[in-house]
Chains A and B, each alone.
Chain A
Amino acid sequence: DAKTTQPPSMDCAEGRAANLPCNHSTISGNEYVYWYRQIHSQGPQYIIHGLKNNETNEMASLIITEDRKSSTLILPHATLRDTAVYYCIVRVAVSSGSARQLTFGSGTQLTVLP
């Protein structure tokens, strides 16, 4: 699976958009970008994933650059409850592969400030 690079920490004002970047310059053509988050003391939570098109769901939007070497997770109106560690993971589709393991890096600690 491709390696990802994320900033260790970011702050965001409550009500503003939080934009979390992820670099994945070695991504292969069949690898997806997945985002998870982990709120303190809880299990990680799936947010969104994408291959090459931008994606949006009720939680967030995912913007993937045309060359697919980087992406940005956007929380449109951050709340205090969005304070968490956000993980960007690149791997082949979860629906394929013999073991479907997820490898977590260090992630980005997002702190939403009141």
Chain B
Amino acid sequence: DAGITQSPRHKVTETGTPVTLRCHQTENHRYMYWYRQDPGHGLRLIHYSYGVKDTDKGEVSDGYSVSRSKTEDFLLTLESATSSQTSVYFCAITGDSSYGYTFGSGTRLTVV
């Protein structure tokens, strides 16, 4: 959707390497989220942010870290990628007066 972009769209990386995914928004929304989606598990929350430098863990946060140094950017880092982190990653945003969430187009990550 307009207003939120994820990069890269696709990435293949080797086990043990660090990987950073970026979510960028132009809506000035306060809240940002990282989800992963796997067959049989649906969408699961990894980490979220409720403001600059304010982040917290979701249900599947092990092996992931996040940073939010600016309102518009929310970074997801896999410090040492593992094959179990092969997934599609979605970023989402919402604001104080928003009723719904806006999701990005996703990043397909393959760890070999």
Contact residues of A with B, CB < 8 Å? 34, 36, 41-46, 49, 93-95, 98-107
A-facing residues in B48-94 (Cβ within 8 Å): 48, 50, 56, 58, 88, 90, 92, 94
Chain A contacts of B104 at CB under 8 A? 43
The 4 A-B pairs with the shortest beta carbon distances in the complex, nearest first, are A43-B103, A46-B100, A104-B43, A44-B103
Residue in B42, B50, B98 whose beta carbon sits within 8 Å of that of A99 in the complex: B50
Whether B100 and A99, one on each chain, are in contact in the complex, defined by CB atoms closer than 8 angstroms, is: no
Number of B positions contacting A (CB below 8 A): 27
Residue in A42, A43, A103 whose beta carbon sits within 8 Å of that of B92 in the complex: A43
30 contacts between A and B (CB under 8 A): A36-B100, A41-B106, A43-B1, A43-B92, A43-B104, A43-B105, A43-B106, A44-B43, A44-B101, A45-B1, A46-B99, A46-B102, A49-B100, A93-B99, A94-B98, A94-B99, A94-B100, A94-B101, A95-B96, A95-B98, A98-B50, A99-B50, A99-B56, A100-B50, A101-B45, A102-B101, A103-B45, A104-B42, A104-B43, A105-B42
Distance of B96 from chain A, by nearest CB (Å): 7
Chain B contacts of A100 at CB under 8 A? 31, 50, 94
Distance of B26 from chain A, by nearest CB (Å): 16
Inter-chain CA distance A94–B43, complex, in Å, is 18
Distance of A8 from chain B, by nearest CB (Å): 12
Residue in B33, B48, B96, B106 whose beta carbon sits within 8 Å of that of A42 in the complex: B106
Further 9 A-B residue pairs, CB within 8 A, beyond A94-B99, A95-B97: A43-B103, A44-B90, A46-B99, A46-B100, A94-B94, A94-B101, A99-B56, A101-B45, A101-B58
